[in-house]
Chain A
Amino acid sequence: MKGLRYFRIVFGLLFLVAVTGVFVDISGATTGLLTPLLKWQFVPAMLGAATGSAGVLLCLLGLTLVFGRVYCSFLCPAGIFQDVVTTVAKLFKSKRSRRYTYARPHRWLRYGLLTASLAALLLGEAALLLWLDPYSNYGRMAENVFRAGATGLNNIGASAFPETFYRISYTTFTWGSIAVGALFLAVLTGLSAWRGRLYCNTVCPVGSLLGLVSKYALFRVGIRSAACTHCRLCERSCKAQCVDGRTEQLDVSRCVQCYTCTTVCKSHAIGLRFGYARKPRPVQAGSRRLFLASAGMLASAAVARAWLPHPHLQWRTKNTKAIAPPGAQSIDHLKQHCTGCHACVAKCPSKVVRPALGEYGLDGVMMPVMDYRHAFCNYTCTECSRVCPSGALLPLTEDAKKTTQIGKAMFKAENCIVLIDETDCGACDEHCPTKAVHMVDFRDGLLIPEVDTSLCIGCGGCEYICPGRPDKAIVVQANPTHLTAHLPPDEKQEAIEVDFGF
């Protein structure tokens, strides 16, 4: 069984490094290679089941039905990260405090949070899942904390080797979001250093759901009574605190398949065994009821989503400045599918996609929002829509992107330099890729901008560059539901024969 454990450690570490790489690679060189890995995360696969991830979701559930919660030790970056913390923390612990003991399950907390997050999903709000999902939390941690660290290191490199490394501005970060990432990092580190996989077996909705499924797994870790000497070495090594050495019981729903117990047992009493033939032993009465309730909730959530694609939610704030990234379809769609993992934020080349704080209201904190203060959306870029693992941003082709209208530019002449100072400017027209913003005759040879909203895609180039202070003369107003802009007309011109001209 040692081989299995080493395989788990090596695979897990590689996977952790790869997923972290998606967020930390500031050069963008590994984007195509690594971002597909994100599709193998459970919550994104579940949220994207209707938009191409159903196969992955079935694979993950199938894997759990065969081997139990292997997802938690092989594929969950937050889980593997906790194992790393646990291992490191051991070095600083006394021999006595290194030992784990069996802990009673917190069923009401586990299944309560699971049910609540699925219920919220049913109401069209991914917001609760956003704060609990281990992958999304890990993403926020990696994007906001680790990428900031990588940027700092890069900038030290840029000072030492100014010709090789280029400087990256810290304005590409949102401080509120760094605080969220850092807080989760602190909580996760603290919990795992203290009691191993405590997060996974109390708060984590994925752990709870897969735990229920794993009760029916084909292979699971179990104790052979005949060989067991009740030495409790297995219990002391179990970071999930799910082995009770005294009663020879193992709570399969909390076992994360780390296989550590199987390597410490001197009498080969505990191991991974084929368990299909045996009746699943419900360790705790009533968990089946909870399972049925949760399964019912999940099924009805799926049905409701299919029947009510846009539940109209009256309490949502209508903020015209909250512009959802291209591919989001609508703010409603975003709020139903986004768990704020910040893969889009990490991969946006212009850093115009930012984590929202209050822009979308309380149920949209940490979801991506367009911020035109420091940047604007590149006309041909579709990066965010392609890296999104959960279908919150649906992939766009370059042609589709060019007509996806996420908002409309609005010109406020009273703030315009041309009107106020009677001098040329045209910065907005200059940055408009579709010529929705174009210059028309004003007076005395001066030109002033005019907006054809049918051509505008809301990229924010005009708003970003407008030199009007304190108020910009052109701002983009959100389309709560994205629309389709007209393709710019192709005004062909004849080839003209010319000479020097002077």
Chain B
Amino acid sequence: MERRNFLKSLALGSVAGALPWPPNTLFAAQASAAATETTDLVAVMGGEPEAMYAKAIAAMGGIGRYVQKGQRVVVKPNIGWDKKPELAANTNPLLVAAIVKDCLSAGAAEVGVFDHTCDTWLKCYKNSGIEDAVKAAGGRMLFAHEERYYRDVAIPKGKRLKSAKVHEAILDYDVWINVPVLKNHNGAKMSISMKNTMGIVWDRGFWHANDLQQCIADFATFRKKPALNIVDAYRVMTKNGPQGRSISDVQLAKALFIAVDTVAVDTAALKFFAQYNSKMTLEEASHIKLGEQLKAGTTDIDRLKIQRIKI
């Protein structure tokens, strides 16, 4: 709760005009959202990706709360693998397209989409269906395959990860929206919102070599947080993640989770996932707990205002 109080105080301060407010529209947007927010987390089940997104964002107060007119927005799905949408290794392209459209309808000047892929990037963009979906929705795919597109940032609150090379669009655009796909991960145990942010970073090898779980948690303290985390759980890869081997690794779950708090939404999504694999706990996917310890969010979701919607 500390962060919210902090943001509230900043918002109040700005209203009173007691402080010279830097023109950082991102924080302004988050602050105003936090001040009037009634729902912390929305979970939707039983619909198609676009329909679930529409319900979820409405319950969160509409996209206009997070994206202001004229802003440049980055949507960051998981496009890590050269896999078809049915294999659930990447975020559902229908969901990505719906978010892009929604941002544009809220008056966004531009919506860029990228991921630092694991497989050959052109093949990932194409075969995930995301490139075509984004272009049709009016968004733009950004290049992210070369070190030149990344810039060094400090992670002052990180324990092991003190700096990282972050994609320029995340740093230069006004707002970014994190859109992971919920899946099993044999390295980090789970891949949800926190793990998905690894795709805005260039030098990931360092994370693997220096306590992966701690580095993921450390990066959750990065100053420019996503305006929203939208977890795609339409199809869920329950084993052999993060790449998966075949359609047999995938369950049709038809769910979606949305929250501003990255740690909270990952906690909720993990509890949902545990229904497929009871061994999966917060202790297992330890980066989530470690994130809470660094005050990146809360795992105590029972104390949050949650809306559960079934279609």
Contacts and interface: CB of A to CB of B under 8 A. Distances in A.
A91 interface: no
A445 B213 CA distance: 13
Interface in B275-297: 275-276, 283-284, 286
A430 B242 contact: yes
Nearest to A27: B122
Residue in A429, A438, A492, A501 whose Cβ sees the most chain B Cβ within 10 Å: A501
B243 A432 contact: yes
Interface stretch (B21-29, B62-70, B266-274): B266-274
Residue in B145, B186, B187, B248 whose Cβ sees the most chain A Cβ within 10 Å: B186
Contacts of A169: 146
B211 A421 contact: yes
Contact of A433 (B186, B243, B306): B243
Nearest to A439: B186
B187 A430 contact: yes
B205 interface: yes
B5 interface: no
Given A166-B145, A427-B208, A495 B252 contact: yes
A498 interface: yes
Interface string B16-54: 000000000000000000000000000101000000000
A167 B148 contact: yes
Contacts of B185: 426, 430
Nearest to B145: A166
B92 interface: no
Interface string B202-236: 00011011111110000000000000000000000
Given A379-B82, A431-B243, A502 B271 contact: yes
A427 B208 CA distance: 7
Contact of B188 (A162, A166, A426, A445): A426
Contacts of A439: 186-187
Contacts of B119: 378
A235 B74 CA distance: 69
B123 A430 contact: no
A163 B112 CA distance: 11
Contacts of B145: 166-167
A161 to B, nearest CB: 12
Contacts of A445: 283-284
Contacts, number: 129
Interface in A445-475: 445, 447, 465, 467-469
Contact of A423 (B82, B212, B267): B212
A195 B273 CA distance: 75
A379 B123 CA distance: 11
B82 A425 contact: no
B209 A468 contact: yes
A157 to B, nearest CB: 13
B253 interface: yes
Contacts of A491: 239, 248
Contacts of A493: 238-239, 248-249, 251
B82 A378 contact: yes
A423 B213 contact: yes
Given A445-B284, A467-B205, A502-B271, A166 B143 contact: yes
Residue in A427, A429, A447, A502 whose Cβ sees the most chain B Cβ within 10 Å: A502
Interface in A151-170: 162-163, 166-169
A488 interface: yes
Given A378-B120, A467-B208, A424 B213 contact: yes
A349 B212 CA distance: 29
A490 B248 contact: yes
Nearest to A167: B146
A502 B188 contact: no
B308 interface: yes
A4 to B, nearest CB: 44
Given A167-B146, A379-B82, A500-B43, A425 B301 contact: no
A492 B186 contact: no
A3 B225 CA distance: 70
B246 interface: yes
A349 B209 contact: no
Contact of B186 (A167, A349, A447): A447
Contacts of A28: 122
Given A468-B209, A501-B271, A424 B188 contact: yes
A461 to B, nearest CB: 8
A435 interface: yes
Residue in A167, A426, A432 whose Cβ sees the most chain B Cβ within 10 Å: A426
A225 interface: no
Interface in A385-434: 417, 421, 423-427, 429-434
A424 B187 contact: yes
B48 to A, nearest CB: 17
A119 B306 CA distance: 79
A1 to B, nearest CB: 49
Given A169-B146, A423-B212, A493-B248, 19 more contacts: A28-B122, A166-B145, A167-B143, A378-B120, A423-B213, A424-B189, A424-B212, A426-B188, A426-B212, A431-B118, A433-B245, A438-B186, A468-B209, A495-B251, A495-B252, A498-B253, A498-B276, A499-B45, A501-B272
Give 6 nearest A-B pairs by CB, closest first.
Answer: A426-B187, A467-B209, A502-B271, A423-B211, A467-B208, A501-B272
25 contacts: A166-B146, A167-B143, A167-B145, A167-B148, A349-B123, A350-B120, A417-B209, A424-B187, A425-B187, A425-B208, A426-B185, A430-B118, A431-B243, A434-B245, A435-B240, A438-B186, A467-B206, A468-B209, A488-B245, A493-B248, A493-B249, A498-B275, A500-B45, A500-B308, A502-B267
